[in-house]
């Protein structure tokens, strides 16, 4: 049976670590699901795979297109989809419409929204009331790149307290889990201890309830590697070498 949001909360209570990765197509999704990944995120990080410089240009239609392909490769993992920039910030109704499209058209079980400012918290509350599971995201929020950059967040006591309060507020609003991105490990640990819902670390230390990374980063496909992502293999090198060998043999008529 597919993994549910309630199972993730139960796993936190049991102390079972949760494993998550991102996917952008059927092939990658099928491999992740078969390997035992618990949660698959169709993240707006796939904007890099599509050739964008950051996450901002990604559209809802593009996201849905890729999420539908991912869903066809998933049989067990919980499937969560990022709502792209400016598809949920204008109004609560816009957020409900965007999230509703994602769930109806892709078969995903939940959506993820970045931030915890007052209006967004109200929006998340409404989404949850409407029956739409929501994953939160605090710390470094890439959709706010022009406001906060891509540097580590929560390094001062005041900023750390703010992020902690944001996480607590999101839990109260009804999110089933929260991504903690690029914050000090001590802060990640503190937030995890305070919450009754799972936290996912992406550069937030080892004391969270689960871990999530961008799959293209761990496979060595990304041109720029974040400081917190371990490279498990270098597919960029392997693929380049394979293609170069094919080109050479094809030109020499040795196929």
- Token match 């999101």: residue? 170
The count of other CB atoms within 10 Å of the CB of residue 196 is: 8
Active-site residue flag, 90: no
- Token match 């196929």: residue? 255
- Token match 């507020």: residue? 169
- Bridge partners (DSSP) of residue 179 are 137, 200
Cα–Cα dist 150/8, whole Å: 29
Q: How far is CA 94 from CA 48, 100, 169, in A?
A: 25, 10, 22
- Bridge partners (DSSP) of residue 41 are 22, 80
**Out of 90, 181, 245, 252, which one is annotated catalytic?**
181
Contact 77, 38 (CB under 8 A): yes
Q: What is the DSSP letter of 109?
A: S
Catalytic residues: 181
């Amino acid at each position: 049976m597919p993994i549910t949001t309630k199972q993730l909360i139960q796993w936190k209570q049991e102390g079972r670590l949760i494993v998550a990765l991102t996917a952008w197509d059927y092939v990658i999704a099928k491999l992740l699901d078969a390997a035992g990944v618990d949660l698959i995120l169709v993240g707006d990080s796939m904007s890099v795979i599509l050739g964008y410089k950051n996450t901002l240009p990604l559209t809802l239609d593009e996201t849905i297109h890729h999420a539908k392909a991912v869903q066809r490769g998933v049989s067990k993992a919980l499937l969560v989809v990022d709502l792209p920039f400016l598809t949920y910030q204008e109004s609560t109704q816009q957020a409900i419409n965007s999230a509703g499209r994602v769930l109806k058209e892709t078969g995903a079980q939940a959506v993820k929204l970045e931030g915890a400012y007052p209006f967004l918290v109200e929006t998340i509350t409404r989404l949850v009331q409407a029956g739409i599971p929501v994953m939160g995201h605090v710390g470094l929020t890439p959709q706010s790149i022009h406001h906060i950059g891509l540097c580590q967040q929560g390094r001062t006591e005041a900023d750390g307290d703010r992020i902690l309060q944001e996480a607590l507020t999101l839990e109260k609003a009804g999110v089933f889990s929260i991504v903690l991105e690029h914050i000090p490990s001590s802060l990640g640990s503190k937030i995890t201890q305070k919450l009754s819902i799972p936290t996912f670390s992406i550069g937030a230390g080892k004391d969270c309830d689960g871990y999530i990374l961008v799959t293209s980063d761990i496979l060595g496909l990304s041109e720029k590697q974040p400081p917190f992502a371990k490279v498990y293999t270098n597919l960029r090198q392997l693929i380049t070498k394979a293609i170069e060998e094919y080109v050479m043999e094809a030109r020499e008529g040795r196929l």
